[in-house]
Structure 1
Amino acid sequence: MTLPTDISGLRWHHRFAMLGAAFHTRLQPTPLPEPYWVARSDATARLLGLDAQWFASDEALEALTGSRPLAGAEPLASVYSGHQFGVWAGQLGDGRAILLGETTDGLEVQLKGAGRTPYSRGGDGRAVLRSSIREFLCSEAMHGLGIPTTRALSLTGSDQRVRRETLETAAVVARVAPSFIRFGHFEHFAASGQDAELRALADYVIERYYPACRSTERFGGNAYAALLEAVSERTAALLAQWQSVGFCHGVMNTDNMSILGLTIDYGPFQFLDGFDPGHICNHSDTSGRYAFNQQPSVAYWNLHALAQALLPLIGDKETAVSALASYKRVFPSEFDRRMRAKLGLDTPPPGTAVAEAEATDRLLIDGVLSLLAAERTDWTIFWRRLSVAVQSGDMAAVTDLFIDRTGIDAWLPAYAARRAAGPAQAAGRMLQVNPKFVLRNHLGQEAIELAQNKDFSGVAILLTLLESPFDDHPGHEAMAGFPPDWASTIEISCSS
């Protein structure tokens, strides 16, 4: 049922809720005392069609903190299960996230940190300001980079204390996505033998998000195998984008994997500073399971877990394995395509066979990655400087990044010989795929420390830069510079 528009400008309907009581628990958010604005995303508000005047009001502040009911919303917390760090964790669920509902534009609005739910497993259901700032900013930063992600509408705070390693203040992020369904939702019903609910969930996802799976001739018309293949391909494309920008998720549990191939649940994430393929951004990840160079293989492992969950619907293991095969085809192809774009090598030289050009490009890509890894060269700065250098024809700023210049001096002529387009044209493309600004840990930390003293200017500045990370933003060059020495001492864990 579609409800009339309220003063916010939102119109609601609640299709996920209609799946039934086995999928969720209805409950209201727990109010936070004396909430205040920390940040708002006008871009996400426009996506929702929110009334701008309402979005700046005290009513919106309270509603998006969970302290005032929002007309038409039907809050609920969903149940799911999952593998955490490769180990079956059993029932999990929205332990601190409460879904307000779905708008008529097909976007769900969720409050993260809005209080205890039946799935909190002894937790307080709250989020802290520190981690909430990181999630708010990175959600919008990833969107600015063109990477599929959940969005952040707003960030509100309260002086109410929450205990983690120390006492911290509480915060709520209003998140937006077409769906927050995870691999773990399917694992939950498969593990408990609830085949009817498993089928209802799969049918809902196909109908809403993958309708082509219903009419496919793939796998003999098996819509559930086609769903697995489609999710595998979206996940592969997402991982290629992560790897190309140096993004470390940090906690790729199956309950943190989106069925729509979105980046979801920003916890101990990091954008690489120096290029270390084995970098572990999550201080809690003592085994290195989620190291940067392990992310593509972990995603494939998680897809196997999804395949196992869908097996009662797919019918046989061979079909499921066949549906997964697309991941190993799509990921390397997408990664190479994105790396070629970073190098400005979108098209093969005239008169050169595609296969020959791809082989040459693969040597160039492998070569430069080896050079960057050998000296832990700053990932973002290298690619941005290379883009500018191709435009100017002066590679000095690139070679200056290396202590031992033997390797880069040998690589650059081979790279120049491969470039088919004129330097200006190549640089123009490169500047649109190699960002000047990313959410480095130290930038986030500086904004957090200001915010903990009620100064939210650092959050606002970063939001502006990260919404358009390929632009120059004169006056903010320092925020595109090398990280300070103390940045390497920042520890990000699963605690939030």
Structure 2
Amino acid sequence: MDKAAYQPAQDILALGDAFYDVVEAARFPEHRLRFRNQRWAERVGLGDLTDAEWIDHFGRFRPLPGSLEQPLALRYHGHQFRVYNPDIGDGRGFLFAQVRDLKDNRLLDLGTKGSGQTPYSRFGDGKLTLKGGVREVLATEQLEALGVETSKSFSLIETGEALDRHDEPSPTRSSVLVRLSHSHIRYGTFQRLAYFGLADEMTALTDYVLARYVPGAPGPEAPLEERVAAMLDHAVRGAARLAASYMAAGFVHGVLNTDNINITAESFDYGPWRFAPTYDLAFTAAYFDEYGLYAFGRQAEALHWNVYQLAKALLTIVPKEAMVPVLETFPEHFENALVAAIFARLGLQPAGDEQANLALLQAMERFLIDTGMGLERFYFDWYGGILSEARREKSPAANTYAGEKAAPLRALLPRFQPDAAARENLNHPYFADDAPCTLLIDEVEEIWSAIDERDDWGPFNDKIARIRRMGEAYGRTFS
């Protein structure tokens, strides 16, 4: 590691042992390094680790110097498909370490998935299938490239066990994943405290969050109602941004339960995710989401509902009057965030006229629904607006763009100028490709089949390279 730059942290210990349980990592029969996120390793001062050292820390979980001496399974509850569950917590993962982001000094958490049983495993083995690990790496890489604030897949190590699972062919290969996240504090962390009526701990958690995750937040000397309102405002704005970013990315998380939403509104915990092939508002990711609760077009509703559950938990320490005005701002924040996210994907500057901006979004939505156009195909061809007219004429969808269903879009487009990023980014060779970089379910299954049947990691590594090339084309700086 870069000893001169690496900055370990132990902030979570300030909360005390009412918030976590000390646990031990499982011992695995094998350790085969399958993915190492070198660019983020360098960002936190761990880029100089050898592969052997990497496996020692992120496969055997030898503590990082100066960080947590023992893994911590965090305690939380949560609503799962809107049914409250008090019997959950870190059941197959733990908080392994905390470090500082060397770019902006943010506190970052290194957490695991598949690291063995904890007091919250119930009847599970605490392990992760290799397929689940591969899927999460792919999801986080694609989302990061598309501008979604997401946890980062930091490490994936195959662990040499055969796991039995009811929902996929078994036995199947095993792995342990390490995520890099901005925060492990979930809405469900607050809900657990409310469930037990732990007011002092709720106040302490609020102040912990404000001090570490809310820039310019009021300090502990400020009135409690002001502090809670500031934290809730941060959560509301973040949830609105997250919902908008999902819509712009064409992403369906699949399980937006309150235990899967953290206080910084950073997307994480990828199970049955999917990217929507078309603009289908009813499209779902989880086969068990029978009523479409977390469908593509209902994710903003789901996140808004989740924020209300956070506020209900905070009633333990403040009256509802302190929070209602903040909660009521969600629709406005979501609309503003959606405009910003869609225009960024189109590489266009929003107009000064709010109604004109919304008119373009509505025309785009109508076109996508009426034509069944692939989402990434559309964004790829229309990126930069008028600057990409020649590219659109060469697209496989050129006839559709010239047709009647695209007429409203064509009429509105001259009102919006390409943004500075698009003018620069369109010089990237990516935009001369025949097709955009996508990550639909069939592609994911093909990548997994190559690994499962032939132990061929070529398609996986190639997809990561192509995703990162797309991110470079859009000018993404990982954050």
Q: Same fold (TM over 0.5)?
A: yes
Q: Give the 3 Å change call, closer, same or farther, for CA 199–221 of structure 1 in structure 2.
A: closer
Distance 1:318 1:211 in 2: 24
Match of 2:238 in 1: 234
Distance 2:379 2:417 in 1: 19
Question: Where do residues 253-268 of structure 1 align in structure 2 (5 Å cutoff)?
Answer: 253-268=257-272
Instruction: Write the deviation string for residues 472-495 of structure 1: whole angstroms up to 9, x where unpaired.
Output: 69xxxxxxxxxxxxxxxxxxxxxx
Amino-acid identity (%): 29
Match of 2:51 in 1: 56
Q: Give the 3 Å change call, closer, same or farther, for CA 8–188 of structure 1 in structure 2.
A: farther
Distance 1:262 1:92 in 2: 20
Match of 2:379 in 1: 383
Deviation of the 1:438 alpha carbon:
3.8
Letter in 1 for 2:273: F
Distance 1:317 1:431 in 2: 52
Deviation of the 1:281 alpha carbon:
1.3
Letter in 2 for 1:334: A
Deviation of the 1:296 alpha carbon:
0.3
Question: Where do residues 241-320 of structure 1 align in structure 2 (5 Å cutoff)?
Answer: 241-313=245-317, 315-320=318-323
Q: Give the 3 Å change call, closer, same or farther, for CA 6–24 of structure 1 in structure 2.
A: farther
Secondary structure of residue in 2 paired with 1:61:
helix
- Of 13-22 and 199-208, deviating more is 13-22
Match of 2:14 in 1: 18
Distance 1:309 1:430 in 2: 47
Match of 2:477 in 1: none
- Equivalent residues of 1:13, 1:104 under 8 A apart: yes
Instruction: Write the deviation string for residues 291-350 of structure 1: whole angstroms up to 9, x where unpaired.
Output: 00000011000000000011122x2212211111221111101111222334444143xx
Match of 2:40 in 1: 44
- Equivalent residues of 2:367, 2:406 under 8 A apart: no
Q: Give the 3 Å change call, closer, same or farther, for CA 28–287 of structure 1 in structure 2.
A: same
Q: Give the 3 Å change call, closer, same or farther, for CA 377–217 of structure 1 in structure 2.
A: farther
Q: Give the 3 Å change call, closer, same or farther, for CA 402–62 of structure 1 in structure 2.
A: farther
Deviation of the 1:372 alpha carbon:
0.8
| Structure 1 runs, 4 residues or longer, greater than 6 Å off | 5-9, 216-221, 401-405, 429-435
Match of 1:182 in 2: 186
Distance 1:179 1:42 in 2: 21
Q: Give the 3 Å change call, closer, same or farther, for CA 418–80 of structure 1 in structure 2.
A: same
Secondary structure of residue in 2 paired with 1:300:
helix
Q: Does 1:440 align with 2:437?
A: no
- Of 318-327 and 32-41, deviating more is 318-327
Deviation of the 1:107 alpha carbon:
1.9
Letter in 2 for 1:123: G
Instruction: Write the deviation string for residues 225-274 of structure 1: whole angstroms up to 9, x where unpaired.
Output: 11101110111112111111111111000000010110010111111112
Question: Where do residues 80-479 of structure 1 align in structure 2 (5 Å cutoff)?
Answer: 80-105=76-101, 106-165=107-166, 166-210=170-214, 212-214=216-218, 222-313=226-317, 315-348=318-351, 354-355=352-353, 358-387=354-383, 390-394=386-390, 395-397=392-394, 400=397, 406-420=403-417, 428=424, 436-452=436-452, 453-471=454-472
- Equivalent residues of 1:96, 1:117 under 8 A apart: yes
Instruction: Write the deviation string for residues 13-71 of structure 1: whole angstroms up to 9, x where unpaired.
Output: 3221332221111011011111101111111111221142x2422x3214312365555
Letter in 2 for 1:65: G
Deviation of the 1:416 alpha carbon:
3.6
Match of 1:492 in 2: none
Letter in 2 for 1:442: D
Match of 1:494 in 2: none
Distance 1:431 1:329 in 2: 35
Distance 2:464 2:421 in 1: 29
Distance 2:83 2:345 in 1: 37
Secondary structure of residue in 1 paired with 2:326:
helix
Distance 2:347 2:295 in 1: 28
Letter in 1 for 2:12: F
Distance 1:160 1:425 in 2: 47
Distance 1:431 1:280 in 2: 36
Unpaired runs of 5+ residues, structure 1, are: 349-353, 474-496
Q: TM-score, normalised by structure 1?
A: 0.84
Q: TM-score, normalised by structure 2?
A: 0.87
- Equivalent residues of 1:218, 1:226 under 8 A apart: no
Distance 1:386 1:220 in 2: 48
- Of 15-24 and 293-302, deviating more is 15-24
- Equivalent residues of 2:143, 2:149 under 8 A apart: yes
Distance 2:171 2:277 in 1: 30
Number of residue pairs the alignment of both structures matches: 458
- Equivalent residues of 1:115, 1:125 under 8 A apart: yes
- Of 447-456 and 237-246, deviating more is 447-456
Instruction: Write the deviation string for residues 88-129 of structure 1: whole angstroms up to 9, x where unpaired.
Output: 111311001121121254222122100000011111000100
Q: Does 1:66 align with 2:67?
A: no
Q: Give the 3 Å change call, closer, same or farther, for CA 107–419 of structure 1 in structure 2.
A: closer
Deviation of the 1:393 alpha carbon:
2.7
Letter in 1 for 2:292: G
Q: Give the 3 Å change call, closer, same or farther, for CA 159–246 of structure 1 in structure 2.
A: same
Letter in 2 for 1:270: R
- Equivalent residues of 2:425, 2:473 under 8 A apart: no
